């Protein structure tokens, strides 16, 4: 379709550019040689929260500007951008009429006006970009913290299993061999007591090692690790569990497997401690592009608007942090005497990342 507007026609061009000036989302200020704001578009006035009657022709731009900076240095008012004929891109801080300050991306250029010149300054609010960058950095920091935590858990788990666990096993074997020898009844009873104590301690160490970081999660993958966890969970809490799986046989990225495992662990322990339930249903779906984990109990439930979930570690906050760092989300539905359902959705690539 041909361009129908003839910008060579002064009246049409003037009308067109006036419309652009009025409707563009960037803030535009026109400043005279004395630094007075002589024109500003609606976006500019919204940005600094001034009205045209109080602003135009009355306010010096320095009342709005709170300083300019580049990546390399800060520029004071003695090296103001207004002294330059053109600056294509820089950052500065703006102050609104009510005193709020925020960063903007700016550009300025000198424009001839009759026998004089004016400075045109165009500003773009960076608040959303800054918030997005802070959120990105927070997500990266959270991911780093969780990875470091899991690595430390893995190290401690292996030390318990390979170090203390093996030593206790050797002691246990020695006591069992010694108990086969002929000796006085009292001594034999003492050795048997020590054998039982060592056996129980060895079991505790094994359980602690698994709680810290189950070897099955690294060696076999998410599904076998969850199956093993739920078997131990039933023994520990006496709560029946059901595990429904709709997933192909594939390994997921370690961060994804760890997140799903920890979220399931946290949710089930919360249910055991606070839900007063005799059954928990866990469902896991792998749809290729996303994962869905559902944990449902049939306990006392609660009013989600009134009660904040508690639990081990970071509780629901920790579940959400783990899901959100992977681009996922956590939903919770609960009502008094109707049980609680926690649903987790995490996106994954076809490579399981």
Name residue 224's beta-bridge partners. none
Q: Tell me, what's the pLDDT at 84?
A: 67
> What is the pLDDT at residue 202?
86
Pick the CATH number of 14-126 from 3.40.1160.10, 3.10.20.520, 3.30.450.20, 3.10.20.30: 3.30.450.20
269-300 b/e with 16+ CB inside 10 Å = b? bbbbebbebeebbbebebeeeebbbbbbbbbb
C-alpha 30/C-alpha 58 separation (Å) is 13
Residues 52, 56, 61: CA angle, nearest 5 degrees: 115
Mark the ranges of the chain whose per-residue pLDDT is less than 50. Answer: 1-2, 71-75, 78, 309-314
> For position 311, what pLDDT does the model report?
43
What is the reported pLDDT for 82? 64
pLDDT digit string (tens) for 38-92? 999 999 999 999 999 999 999 999 888 887 655 444 445 545 666 666 788 888 8
Bridge partners of residue 243, in order along the sequence: 282
Cβ atoms of 210 and 230 closer than 8 Å: no
Q: Cβ neighbours of residue 8 under 8 Å, at least 6 residues apart? A: none
Write the CA distances from 220 to 165, 216, 223, 261, 290, integer angstroms: 21, 5, 8, 13, 21
CA 14 to chain centre: 49
> What six digits make up the tokens of 190?
């003492």
According to the model, what pLDDT value does residue 233 have? 94
Structural tokens at position 197: 């104590």
**pLDDT of res. 8:** 65
The CATH fold assigned to 220-352 is: Heat Shock Protein 90 (3.30.565)
Neighbour count for residue 312 (Cβ, 10 Å): 11
Phi, psi of 331 (to 5 degrees): -115, 145
Q: What is the pTM of this model?
A: 0.63
Q: CA 124 to CA 45: how far, in whole Å?
A: 13
Q: Are 278 and 272 in contact (CB under 8 A)?
A: no
Looking at beta carbons, which pairs linking 203-209 to residues 24 or more positions away fall under 8 Å?
205/160, 205/161, 205/164, 205/165, 205/168, 206/161, 206/165, 207/232, 208/160, 209/156, 209/157, 209/158, 209/160, 209/161, 209/165
Measured CA to CA, the distance from residue 159 to residue 94 in angstroms comes to 56
pLDDT of residue 73: 42
Which residue blocks in the chain are alpha helix, DSSP H?
10-23, 42-48, 52-55, 127-159, 165-178, 185-212, 215-219, 222-237, 254-270, 315-324
Task: Give the pairing type, strands 279-286 and 240-246.
Answer: parallel
Tell me the β-bridge partners of 285.
Answer: 246, 292
Tell me the CA end-to-end span of the chain in Å, nearest whole number: 45
Q: Boundaries of CATH 3.30.565.10 in the chain?
A: 220-352
Residue ranges of the chain assigned to CATH 3.30.450.20: 14-126
Q: Which of 175, 177, 228, 176 is nearest to 206 (CA)?
A: 228
């Amino acid at each position: 379709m041909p361009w129908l507007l003839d910008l060579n026609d002064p009246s049409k061009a003037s009308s067109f550019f006036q419309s652009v000036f009025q409707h563009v989302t960037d803030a535009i200020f026109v400043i005279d040689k004395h630094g007075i704001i002589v024109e500003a578009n609606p976006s500019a006035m919204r940005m600094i929260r001034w009205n045209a009657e109080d602003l135009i022709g009355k306010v010096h731009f320095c009342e709005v500007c709170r300083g300019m900076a580049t990546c390399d240095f800060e520029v004071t008012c003695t090296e103001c951008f207004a002294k330059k004929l053109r600056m294509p891109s820089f950052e500065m801080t703006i102050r609104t009429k009510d005193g709020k300050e925020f960063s903007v991306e700016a550009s300025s250029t000198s424009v001839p006006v009759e026998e004089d010149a004016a400075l045109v300054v165009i500003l773009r609010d960076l608040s959303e970009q800054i918030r997005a960058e802070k959120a990105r950095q927070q997500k990266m920091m959270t991911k780093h913290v969780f990875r470091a935590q899991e690595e430390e858990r893995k190290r401690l788990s292996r030390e318990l299993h390979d170090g203390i666990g093996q030593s206790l096993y050797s002691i246990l074997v020695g006591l069992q061999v010694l108990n086969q020898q002929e000796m006085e009844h009292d001594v034999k009873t003492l050795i048997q007591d020590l054998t039982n104590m060592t056996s129980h301690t060895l079991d505790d160490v094994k359980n602690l090692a698994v709680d810290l970081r189950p070897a099955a999660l690294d060696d076999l993958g998410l599904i076998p690790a969850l199956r093993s966890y739920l078997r131990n969970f039933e023994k520990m809490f006496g709560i029946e569990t059901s595990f429904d799986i709709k997933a192909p046989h594939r390994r997921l990225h370690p961060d994804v497997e760890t997140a799903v495992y920890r979220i399931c662990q946290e949710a089930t322990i919360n249910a055991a401690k606070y839900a007063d339930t005799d059954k928990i249903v866990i469902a896991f779906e792998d749809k290729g592009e996303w994962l869905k984990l559902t944990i449902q109990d049939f306990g006392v439930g609660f009013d989600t608007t009134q009660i904040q979930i508690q639990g081990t570690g970071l509780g629901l906050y920790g579940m959400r942090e783990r899901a959100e760092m992977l681009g996922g989300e956590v939903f919770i539905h609960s009502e008094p005497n109707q049980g609680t359902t926690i649903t987790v959705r995490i996106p994954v690539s076809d490579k399981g990342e």
